[in-house]
Structure 1
């Protein structure tokens, strides 16, 4: 029997589909003879008591999930996602440098630091990529800290907000798409491939509903 801790945050249970998926993970593990317990922030001191940690909270190097992953990894536990994968996959700059190294097709992209953040540089970006452009914070997931801008005023406003999170921001040519790819890799092998479809009439995932705290998500298509 393996003792498995599933690290979650309260928001993981706010969506009925996600809550149902979490219960399915638990039932499947127990059916196979394993112990499966949900772990919240208050239970991090319990990590050494487990054999493996499965992380379902957002895996961002700036979030608690990374601390959990790193702690489990140092203790020699099996952990998904592992800390090295989180650092690479959650960091847009690392990703694009790997794309470049292995000649993977990619959206035209530049990285901008605070010293390069001035009027002439913004003009050159619009001349190079056209309007609008997409600005991203390096550490982002599910379209958080991803904005589309069409003028210098909005560019400056978004960039200043994102520079509070990082010394660099990512600026890309806007290339509309009906979906994003998501590829799951386990132990160096592809586990699944799926498409995250954009919500109807939207250009990205996780668009906030007007006047409401909830978000709009597109459907998922498995391949």
Structure 2
């Protein structure tokens, strides 16, 4: 795996820290005085005193990228940090974490600063905020200034130099660097039988993950049998994602979320990724999906887009869709952000609530069935077929109860060849509009009528459910598709 070289303007800046095997001055690195300076397997940590345009620190990051090395900070990060107008573009990614952290901190002051060492901080309660800032702007040493006006915001972001650290700050930096090094070195040398390495993004704390632990183990085993080493990674692996040949997302995705950032980065690194950022973008918004399906002749329930909760709009909805009807927030998942309204009063109340969360709400005619079809599609071919039955006494598969408890209905998995042709045709047509990744197409069937409800990127694959018919072969087919794509990438063919 990668080794680390550390760049400084003056080796004396490093005097307070432990010996480094590859500690180089900026001049030594820029002049490529050692072979390690051009080794593509190297992780470069640029700790020069300044990253200003045309400074030695700037050129170190620039040449590292030109040499095909991974460098922290990257030229893009350096440029983003140089102007508030640029780094301000990243604020929206962690506004929620900032607001949550500030409420927990309960500071009486309108100003405070946060020191980040590879995204780590010694300030209690701010670890998640620090990590999110580092995910967006990966810089070894960063000082973040916050100011409260009407609400808390980031006033300034400033990269720091080693010689600016004192006492406990030096200790915190050394500890964070050691942890960063451990992550870079964490994996053993690739065995000769491992043709490729695949990162599988998971969140062990997620309540309803796309795959349970047993399924994740089966993916790993299937990959191993094909010469693919599958490593489970978390969100803290963002900066070393490029070490892998592919990314498999097994965490619930969203646009304003690190899963989308991982997909974007993997695509930019030229990796094979499922699901890709385009698929996430298309699948996670129900408004987009509904419009796309209707524009391409895919059967969907009678649908309307709602922009207001005035009486005229409500009367029009009732006339078009009848009661009961279903309301959906565009980016809800696992039956969240969805409600069934039976009366005019319920419709008005739900619209008021949903329009506070989204400027557009999706309304659809209610169509009761005992179960929903879920057709798993991989690269435009059917992979599995399930029938998900409604939760007992409820109209949805998932029933989210007060107190956070979630119940779900039973399921039945059957061979793809036993799926009614009309269901299969609609599922494949809908998936094809999303791309060539891994999707779960949800459909309802009532007599001869079949409609597509939605298309999910990174669909559920749980042990004993979706794999109940194919067993281990389901996981093998997914890994075979990764292998096919990684082989195609290697020889320059389209995937």
Question: What is the Cα deviation at residue 64 of structure 1?
Answer: 2.3
Please name the residue that 1:32 is paired with: 226
Question: What is the Cα deviation at residue 162 of structure 1?
Answer: 2.8
Q: 1:103 aligns with which of 297, 300, 320?
A: 297
Question: What is the Cα deviation at residue 71 of structure 1?
Answer: 1.6
Please name the residue that 2:264 is paired with: 70
Preserved contact between residue 7 and residue 55 of structure 1 (Cα < 8 Å): yes
Preserved contact between residue 375 and residue 384 of structure 2 (Cα < 8 Å): yes
State yes or no: 1:139 paired with 2:345: no
Distance 1:186 1:172, change over 3 A: same
State yes or no: 1:217 paired with 2:444: no
Question: What is the Cα deviation at residue 53 of structure 1?
Answer: 0.7
Distance 2:326 2:337 in 1: 10
Instruction: Give secondary structure in 1 for the equivalent of 2:212.
Output: helix
Distance 1:220 1:2, change over 3 A: farther
Question: What is the Cα deviation at residue 5 of structure 1?
Answer: 0.8
Question: What is the Cα deviation at residue 45 of structure 1?
Answer: 1.5
Distance 1:151 1:81, change over 3 A: same
Preserved contact between residue 13 and residue 19 of structure 1 (Cα < 8 Å): no
Distance 1:219 1:185, change over 3 A: same
Distance 2:232 2:337 in 1: 28
Hey, which bits of structure 1, 4+ residues long, moved more than 6 A? none
Preserved contact between residue 309 and residue 352 of structure 2 (Cα < 8 Å): no
Question: What is the Cα deviation at residue 165 of structure 1?
Answer: 4.0
Question: What is the Cα deviation at residue 40 of structure 1?
Answer: 1.1
Please name the residue that 2:244 is paired with: 50
Question: What is the Cα deviation at residue 153 of structure 1?
Answer: 4.1
Distance 1:14 1:143, change over 3 A: closer
Distance 1:43 1:194 in 2: 33
State yes or no: 1:150 paired with 2:378: no
Residues 162-221 of structure 1, C-alpha deviations (whole Å, 9 max, x = no match): 334432110111111222222333223333332222122221122024x54221112332
Question: What is the Cα deviation at residue 157 of structure 1?
Answer: 3.6
TM-score by length of structure 1 reads: 0.87
Distance 1:184 1:14 in 2: 18
Please name the residue that 1:5 is paired with: 199
State yes or no: 1:86 paired with 2:280: yes
Question: What is the Cα deviation at residue 152 of structure 1?
Answer: 4.2
State yes or no: 1:198 paired with 2:390: yes
Question: What is the Cα deviation at residue 136 of structure 1?
Answer: 0.2
TM-score by length of structure 2 reads: 0.41
Distance 1:139 1:89 in 2: 9
Distance 1:73 1:153 in 2: 47
**Over aligned residues, Cα RMSD in angstroms?**
2.2
Please name the residue that 2:217 is paired with: 23
- Structure 1 alignment gaps of length 5 or more: none
Preserved contact between residue 59 and residue 81 of structure 1 (Cα < 8 Å): no
Instruction: Give secondary structure in 2 for the equivalent of 1:147.
Output: strand
Distance 2:287 2:254 in 1: 14
**Which protein has greater RCO, CA pairs closer than 8 Å, 6+ apart?**
1
Matched residue count: 219
Residues 68-110 of structure 1, C-alpha deviations (whole Å, 9 max, x = no match): 1122112211111111112222222222223222322211110
Distance 1:106 1:213, change over 3 A: same
**Which segment is superposed worse, 141-150 or 89-98?**
89-98
Distance 1:65 1:180 in 2: 27
Residues 25-82 of structure 1, C-alpha deviations (whole Å, 9 max, x = no match): 1222223322111111122212111111111111222332222112211221111111
Please name the residue that 1:182 is paired with: 374
Distance 1:117 1:74 in 2: 42
Which protein is bigger by CA-based radius of gyration? 2
Preserved contact between residue 12 and residue 18 of structure 1 (Cα < 8 Å): no
State yes or no: 1:208 paired with 2:400: yes
State yes or no: 1:127 paired with 2:319: yes
